[in-house]
C-alpha cells in the first residue's frame, strides 16, 4: 500500500471519511457495472445557484478521496430533472408574465425567456454545464427528458407497474389522509396539452404496462408508462433513478434527509441497492433565509466570480458542510485570504497535514503555489485609502513594497488587485464611514504620526507593526481599542489587516498624510 493511501485511510478530512464508508460497500467484491457511480441532482426550475455548484464540488471532493483510497474506476453524473412541471414562474427572468401560460408544462416544453435555447429547461441546463465545464469538473450530464424518452428508464418503469402496490404502500405512509386519496407515483403527461398531471390512477395494468386516468376535464386516457408518456413523482423518482443507474453515492441538502428512508425503500422495492448518503446543511442569505433558485436571493455563481476566483468558492464549500452557512458578499474576502493561507502552508506540511488541508481536496492533490504576497483584505484597504479605480493604481504601491513582483511572476496578486478594486467600488465604498477620533485616540494618532516622521528603520511589516504596537500599548488596555480606532478612523472600516503591513504597503509618508487628514476632520 502506498504511503498516500495508507495515510488517507486514517485522515479525518470529511471527504476521506465519506470515501472510506463508500469503500466498505465493495470490500467483498467490486461493482458489477465496473465502476463506482456518484450522482448529483439538479432541478432546473430556476437558474443554477451557488448551492448547485457546492453539491457538485463536494461530491467531486469525495470522488477524488475515493480514487486515492481505491483502484476501482469512478464516474460522476449530473442528473437534471428537466421533465418536471413548472410549478411557478421564477421572478428573476425577463418577461415572467409570458410564462404564465406554461404552468405545469415540463421545463423542457417551456419557452426560454432569454431567447437563447429551445426551452427554459435547456437554458438552465446549459447554464449549469457552462459553469461546471469552466471549473473543470469531470462529469456526464443526464437529462430526465432524454432518460425517460430514450427507453433507458423503461425497465424500471415497468417494474414500478409490477410492484405498484408495494411502492404505493411505502409512499402512502408518509402522506396526509387527504393526499392519500388522490396520490399516485405516476404523473401522466397529457397527450394534448403537454401538462404534467397530478391525478389519481383508475387502473395500473401490469400486463400492458399502461395507466388509465381521467384528465382535469373528465376525459379518460390510457397511456403506456414507457417512452416518456409519464414521469414519476419526485420521491419515487429519486429511488427509481438510483435503482436504474446503480448509484453508489449521492449527497443532498438537509431538506431531503427526512425522505431518505423513503428513497431507499423505493430503490430496494425496485430491485436496487440504496446508495451511501451525505446530507449537508443549507446556505442562507444575509437575512438568514434559505437561498432559492426561483427568488434569486443570496450570491449567484457569476456574482462570486466577479469578486474572487473559483478556488475561493470551492474553499468556502469545503468548510464544515454539516453547518449552515451565511452566503453573502461579505464572506468572500475571508474565504479568499484563508484559501491562500492554506496554499502557503501546504508545501511545509507532512503528508497527514496535507491530506487534511482543504487545498488537497480542491485541487485533487495537484496543489499550485500561491503568488498572493499581499492579502486580499489588505488590497481592499489599499483601494479604499488610495481611491483606486483600476488595479494599476494598486500596482503602483505593490511595486514599491515588493519590487520583484510583476503581473507575470505573481498572477494571483494581479488577479486579486483587479478583484479588490471591483469589490471595493461595489461594496465598501457605498457603505464606508469614517468617524472622528476620541481625545484619547487623537493623542495616540498624533504620537503615531510623530513616531513615523522620526522612523528611519526598514519599511517592513514587522518593524512597522512594532512601532504601531508600542504606541497603543502605552495608551490602550485592551489593545483591541487601538486597532479598532485605526480601522474606523483611518480606513472607515470595522476591521482590517495588521496595520504595520498596511503602512509598509501604502507607504510611510502616505500614512502620515492620512493621519493628518483624520486629525483635520477631512475623513469623517
> For residue 290, what pLDDT is reported?
67
> For residue 292, what pLDDT is reported?
59
pLDDT in tens, 448-484: 999 999 999 999 999 999 999 999 999 999 999 999 9
Q: Which pLDDT band, with edges at 50, 70 and 90, does 421 fall under?
A: very high
> For residue 286, what pLDDT is reported?
65
User: Would the pLDDT of 55 be above 70?
Assistant: yes
Task: Name 33's Cβ contacts closer than 8 Å, sequence gap at least 6.
Answer: 246
| Burial (0-12, 13-18, 19+ Cβ within 10 Å), 227 | middle
* Interval 267-291 mean pLDDT: 84
> For residue 324, what pLDDT is reported?
85
Q: Which pLDDT band, with edges at 50, 70 and 90, does 257 fall under?
A: confident
Q: Which of 193, 172, 173 is nearest to 182 (CA)?
A: 172
Are 43 and 125 in contact by the 8 Å Cβ rule? The answer is: no
Determine the Cα–Cα distance for residues 298 and 283; give it in Å rounded to an integer.
Answer: 8
User: Would the pLDDT of 296 be above 60?
Assistant: no
* Interval 5-34 mean pLDDT: 95
pLDDT in tens, 313-366: 999 999 999 988 887 888 999 999 999 999 999 999 999 999 999 999 999 999
User: Would the pLDDT of 5 be above 70?
Assistant: yes
Looking at the chain, the whole-number percentage of residues with pLDDT higher than 90 is: 78
Read off the DSSP letter of residue 427: I
Task: Name 389's Cβ contacts closer than 8 Å, sequence gap at least 6.
Answer: 421, 425
| Burial (0-12, 13-18, 19+ Cβ within 10 Å), 87 | exposed
- HEC-encoded secondary structure of 342-384: HHHHHHHCCHHHHHHCHHHHHHCCCCCCCCCCCCHHHHHHHHH
Determine the Cα–Cα distance for residues 122 and 116; give it in Å rounded to an integer.
Answer: 9
* Interval 395-408 mean pLDDT: 95
Q: Which of 98, 109, 110, 103 is nearest to 88 (CA)?
A: 103
User: Would the pLDDT of 207 be above 90?
Assistant: yes
pLDDT in tens, 101-136: 999 999 999 999 999 999 999 998 998 888 788 888
Helix (H) or strand (E) holding 447: helix 439-454
Structure pTM? 0.89
Strand pairing class (325-326; 74-80) = unpaired
C-alpha cell at 41: 441532482
C-alpha cell at 397: 504601491
* Interval 432-445 mean pLDDT: 95
Mean residue pLDDT across the chain: 92
> For residue 163, what pLDDT is reported?
97
- For cell 494581479, the residue is 414
Strand pairing class (210-214; 249-253) = unpaired
User: Would the pLDDT of 299 be above 80?
Assistant: no
Determine the Cα–Cα distance for residues 21 and 439; give it in Å rounded to an integer.
Answer: 62
Cis omega (within 30 of 0) for bond into 478: yes
Strand, coil or helix: what is 174? Answer: coil
Amino acid at each position: 500500500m502506498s504511503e498516500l493511501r495508507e495515510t488517507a485511510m486514517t485522515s479525518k478530512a470529511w471527504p476521506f471519511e465519506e470515501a472510506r464508508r463508500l469503500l466498505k460497500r465493495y470490500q467483498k467484491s467490486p461493482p458489477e457495472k465496473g465502476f463506482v457511480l456518484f450522482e448529483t441532482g439538479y432541478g432546473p426550475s430556476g437558474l443554477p445557484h451557488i448551492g448547485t455548484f457546492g453539491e457538485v464540488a463536494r461530491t467531486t471532493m469525495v470522488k477524488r478521496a475515493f480514487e486515492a483510497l481505491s483502484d476501482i474506476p469512478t464516474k460522476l453524473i449530473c442528473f437534471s430533472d428537466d421533465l418536471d412541471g413548472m410549478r411557478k414562474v421564477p421572478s428573476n427572468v425577463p418577461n415572467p408574465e409570458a410564462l404564465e401560460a406554461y404552468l405545469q408544462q415540463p421545463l423542457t416544453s417551456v419557452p426560454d425567456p432569454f431567447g437563447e435555447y429551445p426551452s427554459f429547461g435547456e437554458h438552465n441546463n446549459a447554464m449549469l454545464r457552462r459553469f461546471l465545464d469552466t471549473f473543470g469538473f469531470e462529469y456526464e450530464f443526464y437529462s430526465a427528458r432524454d432518460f425517460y424518452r430514450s427507453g433507458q428508464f423503461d425497465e424500471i418503469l415497468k417494474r414500478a407497474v409490477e410492484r405498484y402496490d408495494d411502492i404505493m404502500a411505502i409512499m402512502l405512509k408518509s402522506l396526509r389522509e387527504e393526499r392519500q386519496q388522490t396520490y399516485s407515483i405516476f404523473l401522466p403527461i397529457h397527450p394534448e396539452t403537454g401538462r404534467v398531471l397530478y391525478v389519481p390512477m383508475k387502473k395500473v395494468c401490469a400486463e400492458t404496462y399502461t395507466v388509465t386516468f381521467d384528465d382535469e376535464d373528465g376525459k379518460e386516457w390510457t397511456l403506456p408508462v414507457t417512452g416518456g408518456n409519464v414521469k414519476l413523482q419526485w420521491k419515487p423518482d429519486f429511488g427509481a433513478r438510483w435503482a436504474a443507474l446503480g448509484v453508489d453515492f449521492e449527497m443532498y441538502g438537509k431538506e431531503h434527509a427526512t425522505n431518505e428512508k423513503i428513497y431507499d425503500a423505493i430503490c430496494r422495492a425496485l430491485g436496487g441497492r440504496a446508495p451511501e448518503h451525505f446530507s449537508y446543511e443549507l446556505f442562507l442569505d444575509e437575512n438568514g433565509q434559505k437561498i432559492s433558485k426561483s427568488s434569486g436571493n443570496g450570491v449567484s455563481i457569476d456574482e462570486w466570480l466577479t469578486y474572487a476566483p473559483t478556488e475561493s468558492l470551492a474553499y468556502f464549500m469545503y468548510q464544515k458542510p454539516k453547518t449552515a452557512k451565511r452566503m453573502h458578499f461579505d464572506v468572500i474576502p475571508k474565504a479568499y485570504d484563508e484559501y491562500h493561507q492554506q496554499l502557503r502552508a501546504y508545501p511545509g506540511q507532512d503528508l497527514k497535514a496535507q491530506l487534511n488541508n482543504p487545498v488537497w481536496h480542491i485541487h485533487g492533490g495537484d496543489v499550485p503555489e500561491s503568488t498572493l504576497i499581499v492579502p486580499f483584505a489588505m488590497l481592499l484597504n489599499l483601494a479604499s485609502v488610495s481611491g483606486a479605480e483600476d488595479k494599476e493604481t494598486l500596482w503602483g504601491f505593490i511595486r514599491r513594497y515588493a519590487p520583484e513582483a510583476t503581473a507575470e511572476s505573481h498572477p494571483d496578486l494581479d488577479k486579486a488587485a483587479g478583484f479588490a478594486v471591483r469589490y471595493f467600488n461595489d461594496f465598501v465604498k457605498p457603505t464606508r464611514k469614517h468617524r472622528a477620533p476620541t481625545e484619547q485616540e487623537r493623542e495616540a494618532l498624533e504620537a503615531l504620526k510623530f513616531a513615523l516622521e522620526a522612523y528611519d528603520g526598514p519599511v517592513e511589516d514587522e518593524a512597522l507593526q512594532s512601532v504601531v504596537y508600542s504606541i497603543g500599548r502605552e495608551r490602550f488596555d485592551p489593545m483591541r481599542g487601538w486597532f479598532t480606532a485605526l480601522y474606523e478612523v483611518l480606513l472607515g472600516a470595522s476591521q482590517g489587516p495588521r496595520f504595520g503591513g498596511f503602512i509598509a504597503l501604502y507607504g510611510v509618508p502616505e500614512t502620515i498624510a492620512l493621519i493628518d487628514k483624520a486629525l483635520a476632520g477631512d475623513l469623517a
